[in-house]
Amino acid sequence: MKTLLISAVCIGTAIAAANGDKLSLVGGTVINPANGKTIPNAIVTIDGDTIQDIGTASEAASGGRSIDCKGKFILPGYFDTHVHFFQSADLFTRPDGVDLNAIRPYRDEVAWVKSHVDDVFLRYLRCGITSVVDVGGPFWNFEVRKHANETAKAPRVAVAGPLISSVSREKLDLGDPPIVKIDTPDQAREFVRKLAGQKPDLVKIWYIVDNDHPVDSFRPIVRATIEESHSHGIRVAVHATELETARAAVEEGADVLVHSVVDKEVDEPFVRLLKDKKTILCPTLVVFERYGRVFANKLNLTPEEKAWGNPEVIGTLDVTKIPSDKLPDRIKSALADPAKTLDTIKTTYDVALKNLKKLEDNGVTIAAGTDAGNIGTIHGPALFREFQLMKEAGLTPMQILQCATANGARLFGGDIGARTGSIEKGKLADIVILNSNPADDIGHASDIDSVIKNGIVYPAKSILP
Ligand SMILES: [Zn+2]
């Protein structure tokens, strides 16, 4: 039995388990967050793009090449189940929130975003994120998914098209708007039929509630959207951050809630509703701090974000570089009273973190996601800040890893979702190899040695330019 030992780190280029060419990961500890089980001294055999077998290293490797994984930890690739490719995370990416067209026209921002899709793909891969879900953007999103499917060095991508919304956002409309205001149930059905032609992985509803848009006024549109989507076999994801909005959405049949409830503590009937309906909730904790922290000049990027985030994007996030006469009021007031901004974030977290713990403890399916692409929420490494916040909420490392793997795969859905999220025979070979044990400390989740996507091994340090 010939076994050729190769160190993935040393060779510096990708290794593929080509057709009929087996690849074995030898001697590492396999961690399957889906069931919390670990297999020490394991041998994972990969054939092409598929995990062929998992045994113990005492059994002889069955030919092909192998990678020595002694002392390392082998996990399913991570999922970020809430991202937006149409947003860069820079300061100019949401002119509907802060209009800085005078500094950088939104048209230029969109052109930059479109020319940096491959860069965003690499940043996800560098972070061990082998699958992402884009929960809303222009019709251009469907091209991003197609491009990802044709690109080896890219995460798997599931997408929703334009958001069906209770409010309009004209400043984002350059001809292919990410957000579309829908006024009647018939309009909603018609728009869903148009979306269905693109085979979206999800239909997204932006259920924005304020004094002018009470919960009940938009509810018939939510109902029609969900009915029509389900009739086409498409699941529906809903933005609903208040308890009563979220409750209405789930009662109408929402399959996914894309954020935490942040206005009040979730109650028992709500928890039971989510469990009964098998609704998946994605907390997106990190995004709740990042707008405010950027505007107040109190940004707290993690070392991972500084190292693996796009430097051009990060460079724009210093609001003190903007001439003061060009600062929008929202940034001006945050800068004038940063303590107030930080206090608002704390108030949000007091509710959101408590809600996450309650939902997790009661067996609701939680999928990890960041809302990356929004101002200050960095594509790729924002997931590690999300992990920190999930830990602050009281989740164990294994629970957090389950949210970022097996539960992520459930949210991703479809054939790919069914074939990812765990290290099991027959699953796709999307794997993260870590240098230290994330079950001891979730901080180790970013201590990445190499990433395997679709059976191809990339030493982590070789991924970014
Ligand atoms: Zn979002």
Instruction: Return the HEC string of the chain.
Output: CCCEEECHHHHCCCEECCCCCEEEEEEEEEEECCCCEEEEEEEEEEECCEEEEEEECCCCCCCCEEEECCCCEEEECEEEEEECCCCCCCCCCCCCCCCCCCCCCHHHHHHHHHHCHHHHHHHHHHCCEEEEEECCCCCHHHHHHHHHHCCCCCCEEEEECCEEECCCCHHHCCCCCCEEECCCHHHHHHHHHHHHCCCCCEEEEECCCECCECHHHHHHHHHHHHHHHHHCCCEEEEECCCHHHHHHHHHCCCCEECCCCCCCCCCHHHHHHHHHHCCEECCCCCHHHHHHHHHCCCCCCCHHHHHHCCHHHHHCCCHHHCCHHHCCHHHHHHHHCHHHHHHHHHHHHHHHHHHHHHHHHCCCEECCCCCECECCCCCCCHHHHHHHHHHHCCCCHHHHHHHHCHHHHHHHCHHHHHCCCCCCCCCECCEEEECCCCCCCHHHHHCEEEEEECCEEEEHHHCCC
**C-alpha 379 – ligand 1 centre gap (Å):** 12
User: Which pLDDT score, from 0 to 100, does residue 421 have?
Assistant: 98
Place of tokens 């919390």: 36
Ligand 1 centroid to 378 CA: how many Å?
13
Residue 228 has what pLDDT?
Answer: 98
| Distance from Cα 409 to the centre of ligand 1, integer Å | 18
**Residue 10: what pLDDT?**
36
Closest C-alpha to 388, from 308, 445, 329: 445
Q: How far, in Å, from the CA of 128 to the mean position of ligand 1?
A: 21
| CA 83–ligand 1 middle distance (angstroms) | 6
Expressed in angstroms and rounded, the spacing between residue 322 Cα and the centre of ligand 1 is 26
Q: Which residues, in sequence order, are CB contacts of 130 under 8 Å at separation 6+?
A: 77, 78, 79, 124, 155, 156, 420, 430, 431, 432, 451, 452, 453
Q: What pLDDT sits at residue 212?
A: 86
pLDDT value of position 58: 67
Q: Ligand 1 centre from 44 Cα, in Å?
A: 36
- What does the pLDDT profile of the chain (465 residues) look like in tens digits? 333 333 333 334 566 655 457 999 999 999 999 999 999 999 999 999 999 999 987 665 567 899 999 999 999 999 999 999 999 999 999 999 999 999 999 999 999 999 999 999 999 999 999 999 999 999 999 999 999 999 999 999 999 999 999 888 989 999 899 999 999 999 999 999 999 999 999 999 999 999 888 999 999 999 999 999 999 999 999 999 999 999 999 999 999 999 999 999 999 999 999 999 999 999 999 999 999 999 999 999 999 999 999 999 999 999 999 999 999 999 999 999 999 999 999 999 999 999 999 999 999 999 999 999 999 999 999 999 999 999 999 999 999 999 999 999 999 999 999 999 999 999 999 999 999 999 999 999 999 999 999 999 999 999 999
pLDDT at residue number 404: 98
* pLDDT recorded at residue 49: 97
Neighbours of ion ligand 1 (CB under 5 A): 371
Q: How many angstroms does the Cα of residue 375 sit away from the middle of ligand 1?
A: 11
Q: What's CA 311's distance to the chain center, in Å?
A: 20
Are residues 407 and 366 in contact, defined by beta-carbon separation less than 8 angstroms?
Answer: yes
pLDDT of residue 11: 38
- Ligand 1 centroid–CA 299 distance in Å is 20
Tokens read off for 232:
């086409």
Spacing, Cα 236 to ligand 1 middle (Å): 14
CA distance linking residue 299 with residue 296, whole number of Å? 8
How close is the Cα of 84 to the center of ligand 1, in Å?
6
Q: Report the separation in Å between the CA atom of 36 and the middle of ligand 1, taken as the mean of its atom positions.
A: 29
Q: Are strands 37-47 and 22-32 parallel, antiparallel or unpaired?
A: antiparallel
Measured in Å, residue 437 CA sits from the centre of ligand 1 at 31
Task: Give the whole-angstrom CA distance, residue 421 versus residue 131.
Answer: 9
Centroid of chain to Cα 43: 29
Confidence at residue 178, expressed as pLDDT on a 0 to 100 scale: 93
